[in-house]
Structure 1
Amino acid sequence: MIKIAVIGCGSIARHRHLPEYEANKDVKIVAVCDIVQDRAEDLGSLFDAMAYTNYENMLKQEDFDAVSVCTPNYLHAPVSIAALEAGKHVLCEKPMATSTEEADNMIEAAKNNRRWLMIAHNQRFVPSHEKARQLIADGEIGKVYSFRTAFGHGGPEGWSADGADSWFFKKDEAFIGAMGDLGVHKTDLMRFILGEDFTSVGAFIETSAKDHSTVDDTAVCILRTASGTIGTLAASWSYVGGEDNSTVIYGEKAILRMEDDPVNNLVIQYNNGDTAKFELGGIQTNEKQTNSGVIDAFISSITADVEPPVPGEEGKKSLEVILGALEADETRRIVDLT
């Protein structure tokens, strides 16, 4: 039985991490922590766990094996490192850090303490995405020419525990807005599906939809891989008509459409006119909470003592694309990621 603690008792812990831990037969939730005492006590009571308001005290006083870090972005690195140095395995929410230096320190702490570090990039576990990756790897669509991927909704006001006053909108706590909340998921997804890293990025990033925000809320990036695949990535908190979490890949033999149809999670349009449609189970949304696969993968890596599917090194590579996009917007130049 893996004993689990969760640091940060906001919406991501309440609606995803804790319910998925509770559903896993190999897990016992023993502690939760949040600086807001009522929030910690509420979730502690709900999941029959000890409630703390200081994570350092919890690390010293509570006996557990692993921890989910569900704090504001600026705390991801220091909290994760403290947990790793205390001998705990760590599942950290995205983006894993606010700089490559922080990411490196997290990776180093995991290695030095012989503990697993996993980053919660759940898009890799979506069935349509997994199937698309396999189709590309098998040569089903031939050479990949280009892609477009988007992740947008109306913003975290309706999702975050603090509503419009959420840390998501504060630069000193979030560091980055829609690009860190949504865009980094898509950089990780495209690296996963294509099976290669991005070598250059260009970007236009704006704060135009949220008057109370000091971080970005709308961004469009242009990305290129070493093999010459090019595409666009959009991340936004300004999609007021509903969520878009779709990806389209244009290949030599076929087009792959993922989460672009309300019924069929994957549609393949072949160059001979044939079409294949697959209902594979929908993608997880804020409104529709399904099993993300992240928690189960994390627990499996601990019980089997094998590297998790999204280790710190992978999280860092996806973060670097976002950091490059910020630089590209600031300098109005294409940024080399190699």
Structure 2
Amino acid sequence: MSKIKVGVIGCGSIAKHRHIPEHAANENVEIVAFCDIVEERAQEYADQYNAKAYTSFEELLKNEEVDAVSVCTPNSLHAPISIAALNAGKHVLCEKPMATSAEEADAMIAAAEKNGKKLMIAHNQRFVASHAKARSIIESGALGKIYSFRTAFGHGGPENWSADGSNSWFFKKELAFIGAMGDLGVHKTDLLRYLIGEEFTEVAAFVEGSAKENSTVDDNAVCILKSESGMIGTLAASWAYNGGEDNSTVFYAENGIMRLEDDPNFSLIVEYKNGNSERHSLGVIQSNEEGQQTDTHVVEHFIASILDDMTPPVCGNEGKKSLQVILAALKSSETKQIVRV
């Protein structure tokens, strides 16, 4: 079987820490092209992997050898580059948030369908061991009816992670479109949808930019979400958790409480109201902190969906549904109204 030949578009931190090593570790992949507007970045990886370097994504997409691309650019470029790649006959793995509007997301989905190519959005929270286990517990009915939840994703900000530090595109609205809500919040809307198996119907939110100087995007957001069946809960996304990362989710249900990534020793804890409890140590959740760069399994699922001709687990439609909750939160914050998704 011949290998899937991959091009990486955007060679910043997410490519460096996630996409490139995961493609390189996959026995079914050969990385053949790198593109970045900073030529040295693309060239450095090209030299390392015996691949071609580009400064123009259009030029990379003309390379007929390339079967699939990872789109690891600033958020505002996700849709235009993904659509161009799909129209060039390439499969696309796109970073989150997939787009800056529902219209852009629809155009990406349409391009994938028209060209018969795979489109996957890099929401990695679904593949965390504790989250996969939590979904099976919820589906089993052991918790009974879920009444409420709280989830948070916060750290000290992308300046500690981005290739460009405090001068990063993450802080520039014209490139990022959205701050902590797009960087972190959209991961949690995707996770919650996956865990509860329901869509969210209403959102109320405060989305603020108070913690980062020289930034034109949000860095602190708190949202209240309501699902189809009336489940309610909060989602917090922040670049101002300066003492360490919070990546926890807690469900409050008829038969007890389930805690995910909320305890340093156990990644999943269920405390039942009858006095029983279960504690699972299922390995660390991936994090930007040193030594926590675990495999996200995103590339693995993307490549498998191409080889097996299956719909990717986080396809364009899934990415759009998770994006729409975030867009509703922005609208709620602007209008001071509860917004229907």
Q: TM-score range by the shorter chain?
A: over 0.9
| Conservation of the 8 A alpha-carbon contact between 1:14 and 1:43 | no
Aligned partner of 1:53 in structure 2 is 55
| Conservation of the 8 A alpha-carbon contact between 1:6 and 1:68 | yes
What is the SS of the residue equivalent to 2:216?
Answer: coil
* 1:16-35 alignment, distance < 5 Å: 16-35=18-37
Per-residue deviation, 1:326: 0.3
Q: Which digits, 9 at most, give the CA deviation of each residue in 1:43-91, with x for residues without a partner? A: 2222322111011011113511110000000000000000000000000
Aligned partner of 2:83 in structure 1 is 81
Aligned partner of 1:217 in structure 2 is 219
CA distance in 2, matches of 1:333, 1:116: 37
What is the SS of the residue equivalent to 2:204?
Answer: strand
- Which residue of 139, 144, 149 corresponds with 2:151? 149
**2:301 is equivalent to residue 297 of structure 1:** yes
Aligned partner of 2:320 in structure 1 is 316
- Which residue of 252, 255, 267 corresponds with 2:254? 252
CA distance in 1, matches of 2:189, 2:109: 19
Root-mean-square deviation (Å) = 0.7
Aligned partner of 2:231 in structure 1 is 229
CA distance in 2, matches of 1:14, 1:48: 16
- Which residue of 4, 7, 20 corresponds with 1:5? 7
Aligned partner of 2:167 in structure 1 is 165
Aligned partner of 2:205 in structure 1 is 203
Per-residue deviation, 1:274: 1.4
Q: Which residue type is aligned with residue 2 of structure 1?
A: I
CA distance in 2, matches of 1:155, 1:46: 29
CA distance in 1, matches of 2:29, 2:114: 25
What is the SS of the residue equivalent to 1:61?
Answer: coil
CA distance in 2, matches of 1:49, 1:18: 12
Q: Which residue type is aligned with residue 336 of structure 1?
A: R
Aligned partner of 1:261 in structure 2 is 263
| Conservation of the 8 A alpha-carbon contact between 1:146 and 1:251 | yes
What is the SS of the residue equivalent to 2:218?
Answer: coil
CA distance in 2, matches of 1:236, 1:40: 31
What is the SS of the residue equivalent to 1:319?
Answer: helix
Q: Which digits, 9 at most, give the CA deviation of each residue in 1:20-54, with x for residues without a partner? A: 01111111010010011011111222232211101
**2:185 is equivalent to residue 183 of structure 1:** yes
Aligned partner of 1:124 in structure 2 is 126
Per-residue deviation, 1:211: 1.1
4+ runs deviating over 2 angstroms: none
CA distance in 2, matches of 1:66, 1:263: 39
What is the SS of the residue equivalent to 2:62?
Answer: helix
Per-residue deviation, 1:140: 1.0
CA distance in 1, matches of 2:26, 2:101: 33
What is the SS of the residue equivalent to 2:84?
Answer: helix
Per-residue deviation, 1:96: 0.1
Percentage identity across paired residues of the two chains? 66
Unaligned 5+ segments in structure 1 are: none
**2:334 is equivalent to residue 330 of structure 1:** yes
Q: Which residue type is aligned with residue 123 of structure 2?
A: H
CA distance in 2, matches of 1:302, 1:182: 27
CA distance in 2, matches of 1:159, 1:47: 23
Q: Which residue type is aligned with residue 91 of structure 1?
A: L
CA distance in 2, matches of 1:22, 1:250: 41
Unaligned 5+ segments in structure 2 are: none
CA distance in 2, matches of 1:217, 1:233: 14
Aligned length: 337
Q: Which digits, 9 at most, give the CA deviation of each residue in 1:135-156, with x for residues without a partner? A: 1111010000000000000000
Aligned partner of 1:238 in structure 2 is 240
Q: Which residue type is aligned with residue 267 of structure 2?
A: N
Aligned partner of 1:115 in structure 2 is 117
CA distance in 2, matches of 1:214, 1:97: 18
- Which residue of 255, 274, 277 corresponds with 1:275? 277
CA distance in 1, matches of 2:4, 2:283: 28
TM-score with structure 1 length normalisation? 0.99
Per-residue deviation, 1:282: 1.1
